[in-house]
A and B are shown apart, each in its own frame.
Chain A
Amino acid sequence: MTAARTAAAPPRLELRGLTLRFGGLKALDGVDLQVAEGEICAIIGPNGAGKTSLFNTITGIYEPSAGAVLVDGDDVRQPARQADVAGWLGVGLFGAMAAILVASDVDAMWAATVKSLPPDRWRLDVALQGLGAHLAKRSLFDHAMTGALAFVLCGLGARAIWLRGRCTPQTVALRGVARTFQNIRLFSQLSVRDNVLVAMDRRLRGAAGIGAIGRLRVAAGDAALPGVGVALIALLAGLQATHPPAVGPAPLLAAVALGALALVGIAWVLRILGLGALTAAARDAEAEARREADALLARVGLGERADDRATALPYGDQRRLEIARALATRPKLLLLDEPAAGMNASDIERLKVLIAEIRASGVTVLLIEHHMSLVMAIADRVAVLVHGRGVATGTPAEVRADPAVIAAYLGDEGAQP
């Protein structure tokens, strides 16, 4: 069955020779694993075997020292696209320009251009002549060397920032991978419902671009750079025409310049401050998200406590809230790190049902768990990790009977479920 499916589509999650080093210590040592779509796969192993490190590497918190994480057949580390390369070049050029300006003494340049003529007789062409004369004080070679150095430094800097940003928790989350944490990490200052709503933020942000004001906001953001350019040119032309004093189109040009600058400025303020949240579409989206959040909370049994502070919940409920929060990102793959820790037997029974429901809704589940009763009851497949290496994979029954697993992990508890 799995063979047929893998031939048709790549596995939901695939780890290829995943290795993670901390200094000389190898937390993960060439881990291979495939999780098919719709599967529940459990990872067990002694404390310190690298299970949580594995989760942290999959979710982009650590970058693997070697090997790769593939979601639906694609490496989670994005390759550089043309736009990225263009971005590095752009930053480099900008840096080169800035460096040439700074190196040729901004202050003197100001004197040569802005102060080239008294303000009431100031003319753009004279200022530009002054700029040319000023720049000519340094040799072309000097300018070129300054520019080239800054270009390389800024371009490399931009690339370094891109490299660090290409595989981060948020990019992995956008691929449809959500997780819970072993040591619960809820947003303690927020209410239970707001914890879930934060996980929907990405979708809500998209909604802020809907509707008239939203579209204007997005368009303004896109038009900002060209807008600034147009405004500056109109401004310069207006200034030139205004001195000597106003004749013909001068006031009009000046008004255009100011108007364009004002529009761009307002649009940018709207964008930066995120006031898209004020549009009707965004309000609708928020209301819809609240309904969805309440439904999710009801599903994990926290419907009554939506307005409480997250940290006021007892431990087991906090674990369920973490699951609801992760589900709110609408994941394809859900990673659960010891979901049953701190739960009693009847809680664990409910958790079994919840995880089965999550799988039935089309989400693939990968979980770390020490409660063997849970693992045996719901996992399709179990992978055993010892000292950062995968030592066995198989059905729960096979793994439980494996003498090596009993010796390293289960002890005689393994015999009794």
Chain B
Amino acid sequence: MAPPPPATGAATAMRRPSLELGLLVLLLAYPWLPIFDLAADAAGVPLRLEPRLVTVFIYALLVLALNLQVGQAGLLQLGIAAFFGIGAMTTGVLTVTKFPFQLGFWGALLGAPAAALLAGLLLGAPTLRLRGDYLAIVTLGFGEVVRTVLLNLEHITDGPRGLNPVAEIWAPAGLRTWLAGDDGSRASLLLTYHVALGVLVAAFVVLRVLERSRVGRALSALRDDELAAACMGLDPARLKLQAFAGGAALAGIAGCLYATNLTTTADPNNYDFNNAIMVLCCLILGGLGTLRGALLGAALVIGFDNVLSPLLDRALQQLPGVGGHPLANFSAWRWMLFGLLLVVMMRVRPAGLFAPATARAAAGEAAR
């Protein structure tokens, strides 16, 4: 048979890794690139972004987790924040000095996803048979239950105060010196930055392999037509449970990094429904079911909230004549602007920025 025509897929497959690799190298090197600092000093705006970028990485992990559950497996779930919170809280319990466990960050990095995975299995096993909208309600309820439980188990979680201090990332002294010389707090920051980035890259690679493997194909078939897939011998319950538990574990890892970055588990109210919706927004904006879309969505939304708006705030404050005016506060306007952008986006690209070609075609047909 003749070789397949040079499909666009082949061309982009060649181009995509290099784009992502370039971005990765830039992010890895960012802490040592003075150019941003110089530019920022010239503008009079402090521009050390590492802690904010860590937040972006953590949310990107959460969006990838949700993509596995909603995008790949087609399970509409609104309780991702619960698994995030379970991961963070487990990290707190396993590392703080007031409890005898004190496993340190690396122990918690195993313990947190294990706890979230267990919660995912316990919730998923009886409920994944429910149809889409019912599942959404059940997971929404689960999210609220977990938040309330975490608030009220005061001996375990310290309630609204949160557990602290959560252990820093342990690394050999040599590595810390190599990273930041004698500056101990900068070394901790850089460790957190690079570990979070490393975990994100690892998760992305694993999910990419998964997407292109037999399992990805099976999930795609299941999403298309569950009944036909079952008649071909696939086990829908098992596949869905795997994807759901896998996503929960990934969200648990994100929670672990979140608590480590803040050095506290924070108020359980942080892991509420708003959080889940924000993650879902990232996913839909980027393109449901695509890994690159998930990353892009997280970068845009969380970057907008965490990186861009504080910078704009400071820049506005320093503008002569504008600074100090009560309306010259970008943060106060940011969600309104975001909402408007989301509405426009849904009109222009209903299947997300990085929609798969097929989804775009389908959305286009529906729009016509």
- Name the B residues within 8 Å of A119 (CB-CB): 97-100, 102
Task: Name the contact of A189 in the complex, choosing from B97, B125, B213, B220 (C-beta under 8 A).
Answer: B220
A265 B218 Cβ-Cβ under 8 A = no
Give the chain B neighbours of A195 by CB distance below 8 A. 221
Write the nearest CB–CB distance from B220 to chain A, whole angstroms.
6
**Nearest-neighbor residue (CB-CB) of A205 within chain B:** B214
Among B209, B217, B223, point to the contact of A197 (Cβ < 8 A). B217
Of all chain B residues, which has the CB nearest A294? B1
Residues on B with C-beta less than 8 A from A262 are 110
Evaluate contact between A277 and B213: CB separation under 8 angstroms.
yes
- Contact at A198–B102, with CB atoms within 8 Å? no
- Contact present for B242 and A274 (CB under 8 Å): yes
Per the bound structure, the CA–CA distance linking A262 and B107 in Å amounts to: 9
The complex places the Cα of A264 from the Cα of B129 at a distance, in Å, of 28
The answer to whether residues A174 and B233 also contact, given A110-B153, A119-B98, A278-B213 and a CB cut-off of 8 A, is yes
Within 8 Å by CB of B230, from A169, A239, A273, A309, lies: A169
Contact B229 A307 (CB under 8 A): no
Q: What is the predominant secondary structure among interface residues of chain A facing chain B? A: helix
B155–A111 CB distance below 8 A: yes
Interfacial residues of chain A within 114-160, with CB under 8 A of chain B in the complex: 114-115, 119, 122, 157
When each residue 216-255 of chain B gets 1 if its CB lies under 8 Å from chain A and 0 otherwise, what string results?
A: 0110110111011111111111000010011001000000
Q: Which residues of the other chain, B, contact A269 by a CB distance below 8 angstroms?
A: 113, 246, 249
Chain B contacts with A in 242-270, Cβ cutoff 8 A: 242, 245-246, 249
CB neighbours of B125 from chain A (8 A): 161
Determine if A273 and B246 form an interchain contact, defined as CB atoms under 8 angstroms apart. yes
Contact B214 A277 (CB under 8 A): yes
- Contact check, A258 vs B107: say whether CB atoms are below 8 A apart: yes
For residue A286, CB closer than 8 A to chain B, the reply is yes
- For chain B, the count of residues having a C-beta within 8 Å of the partner chain is 53
Q: Is the CB of A114 within 8 A of B233?
A: no
A198 and B218 in contact, given A114-B100, A119-B98, A272-B249 (Cβ under 8 angstroms): yes
8 Å CB interface, B333-352 against A: none
For residue B138, CB closer than 8 A to chain A, the reply is: no
Q: Does any Cβ of B come within 8 Å of A204's Cβ?
A: yes
Complex: A106 Cα to B157 Cα, angstroms: 12
* CB proximity to A under 8 Å, residues B294-334: none
Residues in A with CB closer than 8 Å to B214 are: 197, 201, 204-205, 208, 274, 277, 282, 286
A190 touches B220 (CB 8 A): yes
User: Across the interface, do A268 and B117 meet the contact criterion of CB distance under 8 Å?
Assistant: yes
Q: Is B177 an interface residue (CB 8 A)?
A: no
- The one of A106, A172, A261, A277 in contact with B153, judged by C-beta atoms closer than 8 angstroms, is A106
State in angstroms the CA–CA spacing of A56 and B234 once bound together: 17
Find out whether the CB atom of B233 lies under 8 angstroms from the CB atom of A202: yes
Which of B155, B213, B215, B232 has the largest count of A CB atoms less than 10 A from its CB?
B232
Q: Which residues of B from 84 to 112 have beta carbons under 8 Å from A?
A: 97-103, 107, 110-111
User: In the assembled complex, which residues on chain B have CB atoms less than 8 Å from the CB atom of A164?
Assistant: 129
- Closest B residue to A307 by beta carbon equals B4
| Pairwise interchain contact A178-B152, C-beta atoms closer than 8 A | no
Q: Does A107 contact B (CB under 8 A)?
A: yes
The reply to whether A304 and B1 form a contact with Cβ atoms under 8 Å apart is yes
Q: Is A165 interfacial (CB 8 A cutoff)? A: yes
Complex: how many Å from CA A273 to CA B102?
29
A170 at the binding interface (Cβ < 8 Å): yes
Say whether A272 contacts B206, CB under 8 Å: no
Known contacts A107-B155, A114-B100, A190-B221; A198 and B229 CB within 8 A of each other: yes
Please indicate which of the listed interface residues A188, A198, A204, A262 has the most CB atoms of chain B within 10 Å of its own CB: A198
List chain B residues, Cβ under 8 A from A208.
Answer: 214
Contact with B along A244-281 (1 / 0, CB 8 A): 00000000000000100110010011001111011000
Question: Which of B98, B113, B225, B235 is close to A187, meaning CB atoms less than 8 Å apart?
Answer: B225
Q: Are A110 and B156 in contact (CB under 8 A)?
A: yes
- In the assembled complex, the Cα of A49 lies from the Cα of B130 at a distance in Å of 31
Q: Are A179 and B231 in contact (CB under 8 A)?
A: yes
Name the residue in A107, A164, A195, A304 with the highest tally of chain B Cβ atoms < 10 Å from its Cβ.
Answer: A107
Contact B230 A107 (CB under 8 A): no
Find chain A residues with CB under 8 A from B358 CB: 188-189, 309
CB-CB < 8 A to B237: which residues of A?
Answer: 165
B154 within 8 A of A: yes
CB distance from A62 to the nearest CB of B (A): 11
- Between B100, B101, B110, B229, the greatest number of chain A beta carbons within 10 A of the residue's beta carbon is seen for B100
Residue numbers in B under 8 Å from A282 (CB-CB): 214
Q: Which of B97, B101, B114, B214 has the most CB of A within 10 A?
A: B214
CB of B277 within 8 Å of the partner chain: no
Q: Does A325 have its Cβ within 8 Å of any Cβ on chain B?
A: yes
Report the bound CA distance from A197 to B359 in whole Å. 22
Considering the complex, give the chain B residue whose CB is closest to the CB of A265.
B110
Distance in angstroms from A84 CB to nearest chain B CB is: 15
- Assembly CA distance A286 to B213 (angstroms): 9
B17 touches A (CB below 8 Å): no
Q: Kindly state the separation between the CA atoms of A179 and B113 in the bound complex, as whole angstroms.
A: 40
Which residue from chain A places its CB closest to the CB of B149 in the assembled complex?
A: A106
Which A residues from 290 to 330 make CB contacts under 8 A with B? 303-304, 307, 309, 325-326, 328-329
Tell whether B40 is near chain A: CB-to-CB under 8 Å: no
Q: How far is the CB of A77 from chain B (nearest CB, A)?
A: 16
CB neighbours (8 Å) of B152 from chain A are 107
Nearest first, the 5 closest Cβ-Cβ pairs linking A and B are A122-B100, A277-B213, A169-B230, A274-B215, A173-B233
* Chain A to chain B contacts (Cβ below 8 Å), 11 pairs: A61-B231, A110-B153, A119-B100, A188-B224, A188-B358, A199-B233, A201-B233, A239-B101, A258-B107, A274-B210, A275-B209
Q: A157-B126, A197-B214, A208-B214 are in contact. List 19 more A-B contacts (CB 8 A).
A: A107-B155, A164-B129, A172-B231, A173-B230, A173-B231, A173-B232, A178-B232, A185-B225, A188-B224, A190-B217, A194-B220, A201-B232, A202-B233, A205-B214, A265-B113, A273-B210, A275-B206, A286-B214, A309-B358
B-contacting residues of A (Cβ < 8 Å)? 59, 61, 106-108, 110-111, 114-115, 119, 122, 157, 161, 164-165, 168-170, 172-174, 178-179, 181, 185-190, 194-195, 197-199, 201-202, 204-205, 208, 239, 243, 258, 261-262, 265, 268-269, 272-275, 277-278, 282, 286, 303-304, 307, 309, 325-326, 328-329
